[in-house]
């Protein structure tokens, strides 16, 4: 069973907004074993949207349309559907009440433009399980059409609660598609390809995919079969083989993130962590605290941009800073020990480096970053060289820092530095 996703909005075709809606919808549908053949973004153009919609209906089992359902003048999805499919707009009193309830709960004033949203094409079924979000669906011949708001939160909610379960119940008996994602940090794409190439010969109906997700690399294993249990078992077997090839470089499976993995390991071992960040500027703390429940193991940290703050908040010695500089193994070791002692945590993680674009030198070019980890018994440190702009250096350094904690807790050696 295959279908298409259409996302509407000038903000998409003019590149002002990244299309995260369609990504979420595609992920949910693929995970459920359905195939998305195309994702098409078009502007708020009456004729163009009509054409794309008609063509998608002609070649799909289902079509999901997001965007253009809001309260502003350029929201014209309902008008386009009304015209294209010859269904007059009708006021839906029930929907009007839902919109009013939703707006009141969020302290949004009820304006005529909000009320416009309650006029839907004839034959529409409202998708709004509990008033938190409103979309609608239509049946056109054999094809199911779903129209969802472009607001990511609302769109995701309706996809998960209504659209995917409904499509699945309609298309029972299709072959099951199983997929597993193995997430790697520490090998380049060509290195992964080289390790893998022999293994890939004659894999039959197993499909392998590779894609970079900076600074990580993902490997996907996809498998079709008539029955879920057998597919899962075969995926388990293949996953095991891939682990044997790539070992400690695999940090997580499927949707798990590096920060979730680290959090889980700290929780399992009953250890606490604090972080001293220089060039990452708070990104490591932000990533750690993006995980619900992180307050159980993450005690906090310091962002020490200036030398003064390194001395004041972390007891780094003036002498160390003067002799070796702020970006050095010696400084990062004192930072790691300082933060773990000040915060009273089992582990103290420290990062200092040059994110650029300014501040580099011949000896210490932009991208030079030192990692430190104090464990109570020992202090580890290492030096890396990252590539790319300020954003990439920060991101890569934050992943390396989290990966240090992961490898330490796993008993694996850290990635080799420079």
Q: Helix, strand or coil for residue 364?
A: coil
The string over 357-390, giving b where at least 16 C-beta atoms fall within 10 Å of a residue's C-beta and e elsewhere, is: eeeeeeebebbbbbbbbbbeeebbbbbbebeeeb
Of 72 and 410, the one with the shorter C-beta distance to its own copies is 72
Question: 103-118 burial string, b = 16+ CB within 10 Å, else e?
Answer: beeeeeeeeeebebbb
Residue 302 binds its own copies, judged by CB under 8 A: yes
Interstrand relation of 2-8 and 62-66 (parallel, antiparallel or unpaired): parallel
* Contact between 232 and its own copies per CB under 8 A: no
Binds its own copies (CB under 8 A): choice among 54, 58, 72, 139: 72
Considering only residues 306 through 335, tell me which ones interact with its own copies, judged by CB under 8 A: 306, 308-309, 312-313
Choose between 109 and 229: whose C-beta lies nearer to its own copies. Answer: 109
Q: Interface residues for its own copies in 161-180 (CB under 8 A)?
A: 179
Which of 46, 122, 391, 412 contacts its own copies by CB under 8 A?
391
CA distances from 139 to 47, 61, 153, 163, 358 (A): 22, 11, 25, 13, 58
Position 305 contacts its own copies (CB under 8 A) = yes
Query: Is residue 28 involved in binding its own copies (CB under 8 A)?
Result: yes
Nearer to its own copies, 35 or 122 (CB): 35
Given CA atoms 32, 34, 38, 44 in this order, what sign does their dihedral have? Answer: negative
Residue with Cβ nearer its own copies (34 or 145): 34
The single residue listed with the structure tokens 């708020």 is 44
Which residues are within 8 A (CB) of 363 and not within 5 positions of it... i.e. 6 or more apart? none
Task: Rule CB under 8 A: say whether 37 interacts with its own copies.
Answer: yes
| Listed ranges 89-97, 167-175, 296-304, 367-375: which one lies at the site for its own copies (CB under 8 A) | 296-304
CA atoms of 407 and 150, how far apart (whole Å): 40
Q: Is residue 189 at the binding interface for its own copies, with CB under 8 A as the rule? A: yes
Q: Is 152 in the site for its own copies (CB under 8 A)?
A: yes
Number of residues that bind its own copies (CB under 8 A): 116
Judged by beta carbon, residue 252 or residue 284, the one nearer its own copies is 284
The one among 210, 253, 269, 376 contacting its own copies by CB under 8 A: 210
Mask of contacts with its own copies, 108-147, x by CB under 8 A? xxxx-xx---------------------------------
- Report helix, strand or coil for 168: helix
For residue 46, state whether it binds its own copies (rule: CB under 8 A).
Answer: no
- Phi, psi (5° rounding) for residue 316? -65, 135
Q: Residue 244 contacts by C-beta under 8 Å, 6 or more apart in sequence? A: none
Binder of its own copies out of 283, 369, 373, 402 (CB under 8 A): 283
How does DSSP assign 324-353, residue by residue? H-SSSHHHHHHHHHHHHHHHT-SEEEEEEE
293 lies in the site for its own copies, by CB under 8 A: yes
Residues 328-367 that bind its own copies (CB under 8 A): 342-344, 355-359
């Amino acid at each position: 069973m295959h279908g298409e996703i259409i996302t509407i909005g000038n903000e998409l075709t003019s590149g002002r907004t990244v299309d995260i809606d369609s990504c979420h919808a595609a992920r949910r549908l693929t995970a459920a074993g359905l195939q998305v053949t195309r994702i098409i973004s078009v502007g708020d153009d009456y004729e163009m949207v009509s054409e794309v919609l008609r063509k998608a209906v002609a070649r799909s089992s289902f079509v999901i349309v997001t965007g253009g359902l809001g309260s502003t003048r350029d929201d014209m999805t309902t008008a386009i559907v009304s015209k294209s499919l010859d269904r007059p707009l009708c006021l839906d009193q029930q929907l009007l009440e839902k919109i009013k309830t939703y707006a009141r709960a969020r302290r949004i004033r009820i304006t005529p433009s909000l009320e416009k949203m309650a006029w839907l094409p004839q034959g529409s079924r409202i998708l709004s399980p509990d008033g938190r979000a409103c979309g609608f669906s239509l049946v056109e011949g054999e094809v199911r059409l779903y129209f969802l708001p472009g607001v990511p939160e609302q769109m995701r909610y309706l996809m998960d609660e209504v659209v995917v379960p409904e499509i699945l119940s309609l298309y029972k008996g299709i072959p099951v598609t199983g997929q597993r994602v193995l997430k790697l940090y520490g090998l380049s794409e060509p290195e992964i390809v080289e390790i893998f190439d022999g293994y890939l010969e004659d894999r039959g109906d197993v499909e392998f995919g590779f894609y970079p997700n900076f600074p990580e690399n993902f490997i996907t294993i996809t498998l079709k079969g008539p029955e879920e249990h057998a597919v899962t078992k075969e995926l388990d077997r293949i996953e095991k083989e891939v682990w044997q090839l790539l070992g400690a470089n695999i940090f997580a499976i499927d949707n798990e993130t590096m920060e979730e993995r680290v959090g889980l390991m700290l929780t399992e071992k009953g250890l606490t962590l604090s972080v001293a960040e220089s060039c990452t500027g708070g990104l490591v703390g932000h990533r750690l605290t993006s995980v619900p429940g992180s307050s159980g193991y993450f005690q906090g940290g310091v962002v020490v941009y200036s030398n003064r703050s390194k001395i004041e908040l972390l007891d780094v010695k003036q002498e160390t800073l003067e002799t070796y500089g702020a970006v050095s193994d010696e400084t990062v070791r004192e930072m790691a020990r300082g933060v773990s002692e000040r915060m009273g945590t089992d582990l103290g993680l420290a990062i200092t480096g040059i994110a650029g674009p300014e501040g580099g030198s011949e000896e210490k070019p932009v991208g030079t970053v030192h990692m430190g980890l104090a464990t109570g018994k020992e202090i580890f440190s290492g030096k890396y060289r990252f590539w790319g702009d300020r954003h990439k250096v920060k991101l890569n350094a934050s992943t390396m820092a989290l990966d240090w904690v992961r490898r330490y807790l796993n008993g694996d050696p850290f990635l080799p530095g420079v």
